[in-house]
Amino acid sequence: DSDFYDVPTPEEVAAFDSTQGPCCTVERFRMDVRGFPKSDWNISATKVFARSFLEAHAKYRDKTEGEVESAWMRHLAYLRNARHIEADKQRHRRKERRTQVCRSFCLTFLVLIGHFKMYYRRMGVAESCRHLRKDGLTIIKELGIDGMSSDESDHPPGNGKPVYQVHVKHWRSHKITDLLRSCDALHLRMRYGGDWDVSPGAWPHLRVPSLKHSTRAAVPQLPSNFYRLDWFKSLNEFQMDALQPQNEEYDLEVPEQITG
């Protein structure tokens, strides 16, 4: 990040004694671009440069060593300033990267929390509903937290209630999706009650289907009919081996007592 590749260390600069000779030679020219232009080290290096410059460039021999040294000092100050500007830019880029990593981690954590809440809410609904208590509860347990859909808000800040777009799990059976949506509808019904008197607690946010597909991989080792049939049949031998589906199947139909 400077025009010099052989920069002295802070220890070398601190130990330098100008009464013992120059800090460097023409063959190994070393400026301390980290230090002040008029430090003992840089004054010594500037004198080395000025003598060498006047010897190598005859057309400038009308200039004194003092004039060349002054010009070089100004250039060194410019280089030092440019180095600091570049260092500031690098610090800013590192800070931006850390901020992005932190933001990404927070979003991932919020999604995970959402999955946890959704999973246990649906488990609670299945346990509370006698028509879902047997098969529905087992199906949700089999799906696990990773089987829940992600969502994102398309709500502009400060513009009414947020609406959350549900990401489609391209691998999951539509019947599974219908069953989970039935759990969500039952949850709303339980929250409102028969007289539309809402129960205590945060109100669930509005989730609507979207055309966006989830980028998360399919949950492995589920019963085979948990997967969408056309997707399941499209898998090659390697993909099927990685998925390791169970041979056992469940009745995924939403009970008539709920749909009716």
Segment 100-138, tens digit of pLDDT: 888 888 877 877 787 888 889 889 888 888 777 778 888
pTM of the complete model: 0.52
Q: Cα–Cα distance between 48 and 52 in angstroms, integer?
A: 6
Q: Is residue 233 predicted with pLDDT exceeding 60?
A: yes
Q: Cα–Cα distance between 101 and 128 in angstroms, integer?
A: 40
What is the band of 51 on the pLDDT scale with cuts at 50, 70, 90? very high
Name, in order, each residue with C-beta under 8 angstroms of 108's C-beta and a sequence gap of 6 or more: none
**Rounded to 5 degrees, what angle do the CA atoms 212, 215, 216 make?**
130
What is the model's pLDDT at position 80?
A: 81
What is the band of 33 on the pLDDT scale with cuts at 50, 70, 90? confident
Tokens of 257: 């007592």
What is the model's pLDDT at position 164?
A: 63
What is the model's pLDDT at position 199?
A: 53
What is the model's pLDDT at position 16?
A: 95
Q: Cα–Cα distance between 159 and 138 in angstroms, integer?
A: 40
162 compared with 117, residue with greater pLDDT = 117
Segment 180-227, tens digit of pLDDT: 888 888 887 777 665 545 555 555 555 555 566 777 889 999 999 999
DSSP 86: H
- pLDDT above 90 coverage of the chain, percent: 32
What is the model's pLDDT at position 1?
A: 44
Span of 88-97, 122-131, 226-235 with lowest mean pLDDT: 122-131
Q: Is 22 helix (H, G, I), strand (E, B) or coil?
A: coil
What is the model's pLDDT at position 223?
A: 92
